[in-house]
Structures are given as C-alpha cells and as structure tokens.
Amino acid sequence: MKLDIIKNQWLDIVFEGRNKIYGAYELRKSNTKTTVRSLIVGSVIFSLAVAAPLIASILPDSGDDVVNNDVKITTVKLPPKKQEVQPNMPPPPPPPPKVDQVKFVKPVVAKSEEITEEPPKILDLKEKKIGSETIKGDPDAVLTVDEPVGKGPVQEIIAEDNNVYNTAGIEVKPDFPGGIEKFYKFVGNNYKTPDEEGLKGKVYVTFVVEKDGSLTDIKVLRDIGYGTGAEAIRVLKKCPKWTPGEQNGKKVRVLYSLPITIQSAE
C-alpha cells in the first residue's frame, strides 16, 4: 500500500492503537488547513505591501487646493487718503492770480555794470499786477479771501481784577445792609466784653470786603488784651454780607478798617 504523507492517512498509522482524543492527534489533523490558510493570508499581505507605492501614486492628493479660475475681479475706487496737518509745517503756496504779476524792482542809482536786474517797462505793466515776484497768471483761478484763524465767535479776553482797593478814592464804597450805623449796632450787640474791672480802650481791626460781599482776611492791628482781639474776629466772621465796592462799573475787593471801643461796666 502506497502511503501519501500529504493526506492525513499517516496519522491513522502513527496513532493506531493510541488515544486519539489526545490533543496531538487533533493538532496534526488540522495542520494542513492551517498551513494553507497562513500561506494565503501571507500572500495577500505581501502583495499589498509590494503594490502600496503604486496605489499611492494613483490616488489624488487631497492637500491640493482647488483653484476657481472663474472668479471675477472688480476694480474698487478708494477715497483719497486724508492728509493730516503736521505741526510747525509751512503753509501751502498760494494759488496763482487770475492775471499775470510782474515783480517790482526798486529803482536805485548805480553804475551800469552794477545793475543785476532791470525794472520792468511800462508796457510790461499794462493790465498786470505788481508784486514781490513774477508769477504767471491763471485766468481760470477762483478768487479767494483769506479767513482769520478759527471760525468761532471772537470774545474779548478780560483779565479778572483781584487787586485790593482802599476806601479812599474808590468810586463806590462797600456798605453794610441798612447803613454803617446798623453795622456798629450789630457789632455792639454781638461783642462780648471781658469781665475785667476798669477795662477800656480801642481794638483796631481790618478786613477785606470781597466781590460777593463776604468779609475775609480779618486782622487785629491792636487790642487791649484779655481776648478782645479774638472776640472782634469772632463777631466779624458771623457778620452778614455787605454790598461790595465798585470801580469803573465792576465789583472789586476793598480793604476796610474798624475801631471798636471797649469799656467795661464799673
């Protein structure tokens, strides 16, 4: 009997009288199928590896941008760029006049060889303007008039008068509401004389009547002690507003002096 080892006949001879349930028998029995399957799978993988460069060259490159050649280009006219005026820049040259302008050369007495520029002739000045230089006129030029700098309303700059005037020589003197007698009465009613026996004398104070009638810069020039000067300052600080003084029709600050007579009750 001829034995074909490619087929599984030899397994029955080898495992004759043995336990075929043993795993070696089943493993060798399926060995042919496993070998054929591995050969097929290996052949496919090898074929794909060899053909991979060819397949890659056939496929299109997805990274290329698609260019649309049908786009229409439209010309857009941009507005002219606004030129900013730089500081300390010279002004632009004036436009040419409507008529020709001839430079005026001042006639001087000189030798013929010293003359560098001859004055214009009378015919050259006909229907032409005279100026500091010769300019070719433009008959189509527009007549313009230079405007003053700024177009806002012209306001008069008036410096505020903060000088302190003296009551002597001022046109309108400041006054207490109701007159100076009421001012003396106000001081007498509010001044508290120190309780010192035999105290008498005068306290001299000065103050400035402001433009709004209030009293500021109160100073004691001389007092008789015992707090008489400080009491005078206290009274003047609570004094009502005065009618301010005036000079040249305007309210001004005026210096005012006041003597206060002190006499304690005996």
Helix H or strand E encompassing 250? strand 250-263
Query: Can you give the residue range of the structural domain that contains 34?
Result: 8-45
Strands 215-222 and 245-247, bridge-based pairing: unpaired
Residue-wise pLDDT tens digits, 15-26: 665 665 556 666
User: How many C-beta atoms surround the C-beta of residue 134 within 10 A?
Assistant: 13
Residue-wise pLDDT tens digits, 138-155: 777 666 655 555 555 656
Q: What is the pLDDT along the chain (266 residues), one digit of tens a residue?
A: 555 555 665 666 666 656 655 566 666 666 677 777 888 888 888 888 888 887 777 876 655 555 555 656 667 666 777 666 666 667 777 777 766 776 666 665 555 555 566 666 666 666 666 666 777 777 776 666 555 555 556 566 567 888 999 888 889 999 999 998 999 899 989 998 888 888 888 999 999 999 999 999 999 999 988 898 999 999 999 999 999 999 998 999 999 888 988 877 65
Asked whether residue 116 is domain-assigned, the answer is no
Asked whether residue 37 is domain-assigned, the answer is yes
Residue 188 amino acid letter:
G
Asked whether residue 195 is domain-assigned, the answer is yes
255 phi, psi to nearest 5 deg: -85, 130
Asked whether residue 119 is domain-assigned, the answer is no
Asked whether residue 246 is domain-assigned, the answer is yes
Asked whether residue 156 is domain-assigned, the answer is no
Asked whether residue 238 is domain-assigned, the answer is yes
Q: How many CA atoms lie within 13 A of 166 on its CB side?
A: 2
Asked whether residue 122 is domain-assigned, the answer is no
Question: Based on the structure, what is the number of domains in the chain?
Answer: 2
Q: Which residues, including other chains, have CB under 8 Å from residue 240's CB and lie 6 or more apart? A: 176, 177, 186
Percentages (nearest 5) of helix, strand, coil residues in the chain: 25, 20, 55
> Which CATH number belongs to the domain containing residue 242 in this structure?
3.30.2420
Q: Which long-range contacts (CB under 8 A, 24 or more apart) does 7-12 make?
A: 8/32
Residue-wise pLDDT tens digits, 26-39: 666 666 777 778 88
